[in-house]
Structure formats: C-alpha cells, structure tokens
Structure 1
Amino acid sequence: MGKAQDKAAGMPLHWKMGIGFALGLLLGLLAHAFAADAAWVDQVTRWLTTPVSTIFLNLIFMLIVPLMFSALVVGVAEMGDVSALGRIGWKTLGYTVLLSGTAVVIGLLMVNLFQPGTGVDPTMAQAMLAENAQRSSQIVASLENQPTGLEMFLSIVPSNVLAAASSNGAILSLMFFALMFGVGMVLSPAQKVAPLKRVIEGVFEVSMTLIGKVIGLAPYAVACLMFNLVVVFGGEVIVRLGAYVLVVIAALAVHMLISYSLALAFAGRSPLAFFRASQEATLMAFSTASSNATLPTALRVADRMGLPPRISRFVLTVGATANQNGTSLYEGVTVLFLAQFFGVELSLGQQVLVMVVCILGGIGTAGVPAGALPVVALICGMVGVNPLGIGLILGVHHFLDMCRTALNVTGDLVLTTLVARNEPDAAAPAVATTGPNVQG
C-alpha cells in the first residue's frame, strides 16, 4: 500500500527521505554557521524538531514488541515443518545462524578497526544528548540496570514474558521466548497449530502495515533529526557519515568475497563460477532492494546451477525473510557507529549482546521499507545510545539497502548450496560452471 501511495504522489519514498535529509542538513548547516547560539534556534529544536522526531521514534518503539515477536515466530515457523523436513530444515536453520553470525562479527571487527564515528568533540556529543534530556536520562538509567556477565546470560531466559515485553532492556528475553515459541510451533502437529499460526501471521501483517504507515512519516522526521544533529555538530556530520558508508560497503564486500567463498569451497563449489552464475539475481536484488521481488529470479538461477528444486524452493523462500546476512551486518555496524559518534563506550559483553540481537534481528526484520530501523533503534536503547542519532543514517539508507539486499540474496543462494551439499539429488559441482546460459 505504501508503494501505491508513493506512485500516486509521483515520488518514491526514498526520494522524499532524501529531500528531507538534504533540507534538514542545509538548514542545520546554515543555523550552525550563523545562529548556533540564537534563542530562536533553541525554540525551534525545543518545540518543533525534537517533538516531531520524538513522536516518530516513539511510534517505532510502540510497535517493536508485536513486530519483533510475530516476525521472529513466523520466520522460524516458515522454515517449514522442520519435524517433517528433518535434516533439510535443521541444516537451513544452522547455516542461517552461522552465516548471519559471521556477517555480524565481520561488521563489528571493521567498525572497531576503522572507528568511523570517532573524532567528534565529546562536549558537543553530550550537548546533543542533552537536547532530549528526559529520553537520554531514561536510556542511561536503563543501561545502568543492564545485567552483566553471568547475570546477563541467565537473564536471556525470562521468568516473566510479560515483564520482558514491557522493558526495552529485556527485549532479548522476549526474542528468546519468540524463538522457542516458533520452534515449538514447528515441532507441534501442523493441523493443531495452524489456527495459531494464522493469528500470529495476522499480527505480523498488521504490524508491517503500521510500520509502513509510520515509515511514511520518515521524510519529515529525518529533516527534523538532521536539523537537530547538524545544528550541534556542523559539517562534522558529513565527514563521519561518509566514513560510515565506506565501512558498511567494505564489510559487505568482505563477507561477500571471503565468507561466501569459503562456504562455497566447503560445499565443493567453485566460488568464481558461483558468482558468475548468480550475478543475475545479485543485480536484480541491488536494483529492486527487495529480496521478495528477487525470489523468482533467484529460483531460476538456482535451477541453472543444478541445485535440487525441492531444496532451492524451500531454502530460497525461507531465506527471503529469515537469512538476511547483509541486514544483520548493517544493524551491527550502525549501532556501533552511533555509539562511537556519541562517545558511548560499549564493553565486550555489550558488543556480544549487539551481535546476538542482530543475528535474531536478521530472522525477525520486517520486509518493509526501512525495516531494519526498528531493530537499530531498539538496540541503541538497549546499550545507552540516544535513538535520535538514527537521523544520521536515514539519508543514506536506501543506497545501503540496495547494497545489503544484494548480499542477502547472494547469501540465500550460498545457503541453498550449503544445504544441498551431500544431498543425493544434488548436481555435481561442475554444473555450477555452466553459467547463466544453461536452460533451467
């Protein structure tokens, strides 16, 4: 529905977001240069831009619990009837977690290595946090109450699911419950849980619809968010944003060329032949920024590679929603970048927490425009980073969305190749070298 509205309005949503980003950036730079200390700037941020951006973020947070729970349950449940599929279903789940975990680790290592968000004056960073003092103090308070060490590990298993749902700090407990709930549905007799599955799918659809409506407000929110940021930081925002984009692209490239190549070698396939054969699906994913829209192309490419249809149809359909390596990597890099930008030190334990949530978020991220945004905002709140900072990344979101979708779809084909390894009806690896001209 959101796309139809965009077409009716004559301009895609990402263009509107780009205009909002540029407008907020321009006005913020002018205010920073000529009237940074003026009373009217304080009034504008206090009574206009901060309330608008806060309402936008509150709407996102309001929908996190139903969205994350239903998306994660549906994502696991749609791995098919794992009890019936046996090793195919469990191999799909196992390799999905392994590939997503590897992607997040690469992203976290690179953002720690290159530090794209560092160099900002800590005094200005604190001034930015002070602009929304009430929210900042709540976040800091929740950070101080976060469990650490063994206590953090034990808290993953909730004693009270409703309490976990009502606390941003305990969202990982809710995700664990959703994961177990989804596995329980898969292991239960299909005919008995079918009505429940339809209800949860309905909750998921309603949540996606509402998120789509909220994201429709993003052009206005991003203008306000960027104005608030640039009034304080000036041109430093542009420099840091450019470094962030480069780190995201570099991390995606490392995962694509190294991690996937190693996985393909393990599966007995030639990486060079695989990438040549899969380029049609990769380019389609990049141009559409949609795994679902690329699914027919990916299925055709899998047939050309000689992958068993019974495996490719299952794995690629599931992977379009659940195997989102690029999204997991992007979320991890973004959270650490914002932490660096605002001078928030994250311990090793907190970074591990970020990694775990990003892996689960790759399964439970909604397939809507800016679907990763709720997860990024959620993790920011968990680790003490002001969610207001997401205004930094909204302006470049669509381009990075194209890049990570290309990685997601290529990863789905890699996942299919891994799952098909040693299956009796899998074609010999040489079939993969035939390239796109082979008739499926």
Structure 2
Amino acid sequence: MEQAHEKPTPKGLWGGLALWKKILVGMILGVIAGSLLGPDAEILKPIGTLFINAIKMLIVPLVFCSLVVGVTSMQDTRKMGRIGAKAIVIYLSTTAVAISIGLGLSTILAPGAGLEMTATAAASEAKEAPTLVQTLLSLIPNNPISALATGNILQIIVFALGLGVALNLCGEKGKPAVQVFESLAEAMYKLTELVMKLAPYGIFGLMAWVAGKYGLEILLPLFKVIAVAYIGSLLHVLLFYPAVIKVFGRLNPMPYIKGIATPAAVAFTTTSSSGTLPASIKCAREELGVSKGVSSFVLPLGATINMDGTALYQGVAALFVAQAFGINLEFADYVAIVMTATLASIGTAGVPGAGLIMLSLVLTTVGLPMEGLAIVAGIDRILDMARTTVNVCGDLMVAVLVGRSEDELDTEVYHRSTEKTTLTASEDIA
C-alpha cells in the first residue's frame, strides 16, 4: 500500500526546472555575485563569453541552412513572396508603433528634464549609419563565401533565398542537395539544443559582469530614462503584441506570453537578436506551433529588419537628449523621428550596440546635439537588454501571425502550454 503513494524519482531540484527558470536563477545569482564582487566580477565574464561564442558559432550555419530549407519547403515561389511581404509590412508597422510609444512616454514622463549634460568627445566615436542606397547595394554579396565567413546576415539571407529558389527550379536534380541541407539543418537544431543547456551558466557570468561594472551609484542619475525605456518595453510586449495576436490572429495571447519566456531571457542577457535566433527558432516550432517553413524564413528576416525595441529606445533617447539640452521639438520633428527610425531599422544589424548607430542618425536628422549620444552610451548596455528582448518577442509575434494567416500554425501545439496549466490546476484541486 505504501508503494502506491510513492512519487516518481525526481530528477533533482535543478534538473527538474524548465530552461527559462534555470536562466532566471542564473540571472538572479549573477546580479547578486556582481553586486558582492563589484569590479572583481570581471573574472566571471569569461563564462559568459564562452556561451556567447557558442551562440555565435551557431548563427551563420543555422540561418543559412534554415533559410534554404524554409524556401525549398515552399514549392510555390508566389507563396514565399507573399509570406515575405506580410512579414515585412508587419515588422515596419510594429516598429512605427514602438517608436510612437517611446515618444509618448518620454513626453509624459520627461526623463531628461533637470539633467545637466556636458559635451564630451565620446560623442564623435559613434559610427555613421548606413544610407538606404548603401543598404540596398550591400544586399548582394560579391563573394557569398566571404559573407558567410564574416557573418553578414543580410547578404547571407539574400544568398540563401536565391539558392533555395534555384534548388526548387532544378526539380529532381536539386533534391539530393535539398536533403543535405535538411540534414545539416536538423544537426544545427540538435546542436542548438545542446548549447542552450549551457545558457544558465553563461547568463550567470554575463549578469555578474554587468552588475559588477554598472553599480547603482552609476545608474541612479540616469535611472529615469532607464525606467521609461523599460516601461515602454513592457507595454509593447505584454499589451501591444498580445492585442495584435488577439485581434488579427484571433488567438488566445496567453500561450504566446508563456512561450516566449526562454528566448526573451536569452535576448535580455546576450543583447543580440541574431544571437538569440537558435532559441527563437526552437521556441517558434516547439512552443508556439509555427511550421518549419514559416519559422525558418520569418525569424532570420526579423532578426535583421525588425527593430521594435531599438525604435522604442530611439524615441526615449531622442526626447531625453532634447529635454536635457532644453530643445523644444515640433510635430514635424516627431514625424521625422518616427520615419527615420523605422526606415533605418532595415539596415541596422541585430548585434549588441547597433542601437547607437541608429540613434546617431535620428539625432542628426532632427538637429539634436550629438553630445547627448555619449551620455546615453554610458548606460547603453542596460538599455540594450530591454530593446533586444522587445525585438525578439516581436519576431516571434510576427512568426505566429504569418503562420496563422498561411494556415501553418499548429493550434494544438500553440495551446498546449495553457492546457497543461489548466490540467495541473485541476489535479491540484483534486
């Protein structure tokens, strides 16, 4: 009789936790360790660096193989064009909404009011943002092998799309090559799964370093601008995205909110949309039910052109600089900021620090002092965490919407997390 009440042997407290919970524990312990060690937390940074390097190792082969497989799985080239058009329109639309949220919150909360900013030479260190013409010209790689070697995501996407279409047009002769790419893609998904098991430890090292380097005494003077950026990010992810899924996708947004936990945690600590791609693709397929074809096509595209979080940050930072220098912006300036940040997002890479490049372009467009860039750069890493998380969550939202519109969303998989929660609650009551 006693054996009937015995519970299955647990995996252990740590082994039984979901990955996102392990990542959360790693983040919290990292912050505690960094606060205690201070600048000495630098010794823990190599742990995070190893994890980042492992993620970077995956990016190029994963993006390339996934895109080729995604395109070859769509035998209808018109369908591929339709999916691409839908994704781009949604990405640009949500980017415009994001920067409007940032401008609105900054107008109301005035994060730069009363803060004296001094000119500094660091402002001149900002890289020049690429023009639209330069971005278009750089789409086609002169040497695709060089693009793969240097990790030029835009060029890799164009080459992978072209190769995928060509393999489809080859018919039977192209099938052996397609099978090779499918095998390579599956191998990359498995390698991604293995690397992600190291995420809690790598994130512990990264957060310890960040907490040790940026103490509260440094953050307090600029806490208001950080708070505005984080409030805007939370509103965009927890209110705007679920509303879009509810209204346009006609889906319960709760599975989406639960499903994005792991990639959001990875994005928050790695501050790289491209670096989070492995976790995003895994989440889209296994947690949200998006088909391989759609996820392999939409997510790499989003990591390159979807910059909702970065655009929101542009609105906050631009008004912060204007308010700090006592400069009044006209309605036309607000419109210029929205349009500039939205269009610039297409040519901004999904890598850490890319937001500063966009910000330099926005400040120049509306005639704001570039000196403000140096002050914002001091807290850029903290802001980068929030904006990258928004970018990644936006990628997954668009993947769900496009999958739904193309009837390539497994609703059983999508609703599975909610059903599990309901079942567990019923068992607890029983």
TM-score range, shorter chain: 0.5 to 0.7
5 Å matches for 1:130-149?
140=125, 143-144=127-128, 147-149=130-132
Structure 2 partner of 1:287: 258
Q: Retained in 2: the 8 A contact 1:111–1:337?
A: yes
Q: Retained in 1: the 8 A contact 2:112–2:321?
A: no
Determine which of 177, 181, 187 is the counterpart of 1:193.
177
Structure 1 partner of 2:69: 77
Q: Show structure 1 runs of 5+ residues with no match.
A: 28-40, 130-135, 265-273, 300-314, 359-374, 421-435
5 Å matches for 1:363-382?
375-377=350-352, 379-380=354-355
Larger CA deviation: 217-226 vs 193-202:
193-202
Structure 1 partner of 2:309: 333
Q: Retained in 1: the 8 A contact 2:295–2:399?
A: yes
SS where residue 230 of structure 2 aligns?
A: helix
Distance 2:45 2:287 in 1: 39
When the two structures are superposed, what TM-score results if normalisation uses the length of structure 1?
A: 0.56
- Give the deviation of 1:331 after TM superposition: 4.7
Distance 2:89 2:257 in 1: 23
Deviations 1:389-414 (A, max 9, x none): 4455659998x799769845752564
Deviations 1:58-79 (A, max 9, x none): 8636753751452254145225
- Shift in CA distance, 415/322, structure 1 to aligned 2, threshold 3 Å: farther
Q: Are 1:60 and 2:52 an aligned pair?
A: yes
Distance 1:67 1:355 in 2: 19
- Shift in CA distance, 295/207, structure 1 to aligned 2, threshold 3 Å: closer
Distance 1:239 1:156 in 2: 39
Q: Retained in 2: the 8 A contact 1:147–1:155?
A: no
Q: Are 1:172 and 2:154 an aligned pair?
A: yes
- Shift in CA distance, 7/90, structure 1 to aligned 2, threshold 3 Å: farther
Distance 1:203 1:329 in 2: 23
Instruction: Report how many residues are paired.
Output: 340
SS where residue 411 of structure 1 aligns?
A: helix
Structure 1 partner of 2:345: 354
Q: Retained in 1: the 8 A contact 2:44–2:206?
A: yes
- Shift in CA distance, 167/322, structure 1 to aligned 2, threshold 3 Å: closer
SS where residue 217 of structure 1 aligns?
A: helix
5 Å matches for 1:20-419?
20=29, 22-23=31-32, 45=39, 48-50=40-42, 52-53=44-45, 56=48, 60=52, 63-64=55-56, 66-75=58-67, 77-79=69-71, 81-82=73-74, 84-85=75-76, 87-115=78-106, 119=112, 140=125, 143-144=127-128, 147-165=130-148, 171-189=153-171, 190-197=174-181, 198-203=183-188, 205-206=190-191, 209-210=194-195, 213=198, 216-231=201-216, 233-236=218-221, 238-252=223-237, 253-254=239-240, 256-257=242-243, 261=247, 264=248, 275=250, 278-279=251-252, 282-289=253-260, 316-320=291-295, 322-323=297-298, 331-334=307-310, 337=313, 352-355=343-346, 375-377=350-352, 379-380=354-355, 389-391=380-382, 407=397, 411-412=401-402, 414-416=404-406
RMSD over aligned Cα, in angstroms? 5.3
Q: Which amino acid aligns with 2:155?
A: S
Larger CA deviation: 62-71 vs 115-124:
115-124
Distance 1:213 1:117 in 2: 41
- Give the deviation of 1:92 after TM superposition: 3.0
Deviations 1:281-309 (A, max 9, x none): x322323437867868977xxxxxxxxxx
- Shift in CA distance, 323/14, structure 1 to aligned 2, threshold 3 Å: same
Q: Retained in 2: the 8 A contact 1:25–1:227?
A: yes
Identical aligned residues as a percent: 11
- Shift in CA distance, 195/259, structure 1 to aligned 2, threshold 3 Å: closer
Deviations 1:307-327 (A, max 9, x none): xxxxxxxx6454455545998
Q: Show structure 2 runs of 5+ residues with no match.
A: 1-10, 263-279, 323-335, 361-375, 410-418, 420-430
When the two structures are superposed, what TM-score results if normalisation uses the length of structure 2?
A: 0.57
